[in-house]
């Protein structure tokens, strides 16, 4: 099937998932939508995020006839993935969630940190996930208000310097609040990145926390699950691998320059693959 796979996030963070998807599925076409006009989702109400998720799914199905949808946003997954599955039972749907269970297998000290948006850590879905692993390790959960927004702003030329300073400040503040990191017996040795935006500050975290701390994200796991679901639905494209200019369409409801800069910086994609769409997203 030559129809594209839809991928969306509240902003540019989902590009980290798109990067993993492109690597795992080089034969496929993708349409990515950054809802940057309404970013970050993590500091919006659950009702608002659910409504936006429904609107975006409807838009991508109507305008691009997507054959699968990847909700590349932890907050949107927590707020709306169950409703989407009920509404579109035949559509392969993949969400993201903080990698708590994989972290159990990696941690040697049994002390695991989780950083995510307020919307993610405050959701019922995250509460159930955390409850499912309680007693198997000591989890330190930190909501990182403002961090996803600062990462969004770091791609805008006129805000990049101030945004980078804010990123450094927030990372230092939040990691200090979590306690000791390292390989010591009571130190946090594994940090779960519970927001797709945070993948793009891995280098900053590495400089802050040192090389003994393992950083866990979800992009590769999401790509594997997408591949499994499409294979089960006989929906994989078996044509030759595609060039990025053939396989990628990047959309934003917000600042076009921001998406173009992010796509170039993190995926090496040319700006002409990006386009702005109305924030209302008519189906």
Cα–Cα dist 34/59, whole Å:
13
Tokens standing for 107?
């941690």
- The predicted structure's pLDDT at residue 243: 76
Q: What was the pLDDT predicted at 283?
A: 58
Cβ atoms < 10 Å from Cβ of 85: 12
CB atoms within 10 A of CB 159: 16
pTM of the prediction? Answer: 0.93
Active-site residue, from 195, 216, 222, 261: 195
The structural domains of the chain, ordered by start, are 5-96+219-276 (3.40.50.1860), 100-216 (3.40.50.1860)
Show the low-confidence residues of the chain (pLDDT under 70).
1, 282-283
73 is catalytic: yes
* CA dist., res. 112 & res. 214, Å (int): 10
Residues near 64 by Cβ (< 8 Å), separated by ≥ 6? 3, 4, 6, 31, 249
CA–CA distance, 169 with 162 (Å, rounded to integer): 11
274 noted as active-site residue: no
- Length of the chain as a residue count: 283
Choosing from 15, 37, 69, 73, the catalytic residue is 73
């Amino acid at each position: 099937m030559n129809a594209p796979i839809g991928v969306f996030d509240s902003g540019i963070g989902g590009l980290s998932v798109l990067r993993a998807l492109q690597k795992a599925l080089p034969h496929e076409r993708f349409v990515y939508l950054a809802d940057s006009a309404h970013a970050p989702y993590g500091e919006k109400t659950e009702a608002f995020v659910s409504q936006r998720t429904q609107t975006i799914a409807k838009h991508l199905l109507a305008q691009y006839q997507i054959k699968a949808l990847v909700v590349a946003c932890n907050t949107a997954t927590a707020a709306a993935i169950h409703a989407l599955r009920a509404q579109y039972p035949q559509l392969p749907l993949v969400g993201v969630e903080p990698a708590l269970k994989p972290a159990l297998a990696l941690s040697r000290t049994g002390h695991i940190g989780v950083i995510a948006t307020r919307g993610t850590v405050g959701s019922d879905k995250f509460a159930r996930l955390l409850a499912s692993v309680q007693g198997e390790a000591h989890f330190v959960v930190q909501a990182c208000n403002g961090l996803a927004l600062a990462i969004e702003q770091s791609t805008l030329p006129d805000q990049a310097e101030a945004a980078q300073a804010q990123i450094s400040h927030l990372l230092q503040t939040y990691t200090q609040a979590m306690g000791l990191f390292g390989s010591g017996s009571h130190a946090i040795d594994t940090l779960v990145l519970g927001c797709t935006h945070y993948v793009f500050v891995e280098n900053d975290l590495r400089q802050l926390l040192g090389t003994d701390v393992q950083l866990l994200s979800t992009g590769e796991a999401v790509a594997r699950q997408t591949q499994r679901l499409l294979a089960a639905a006989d929906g994989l494209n078996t044509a030759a691998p595609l060039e990025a200019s053939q396989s990628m369409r990047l959309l934003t409801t917000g600042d076009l320059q921001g998406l173009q800069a992010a796509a170039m910086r993190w995926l090496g994609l040319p700006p002409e693959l990006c386009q702005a769409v109305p924030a209302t997203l008519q189906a």
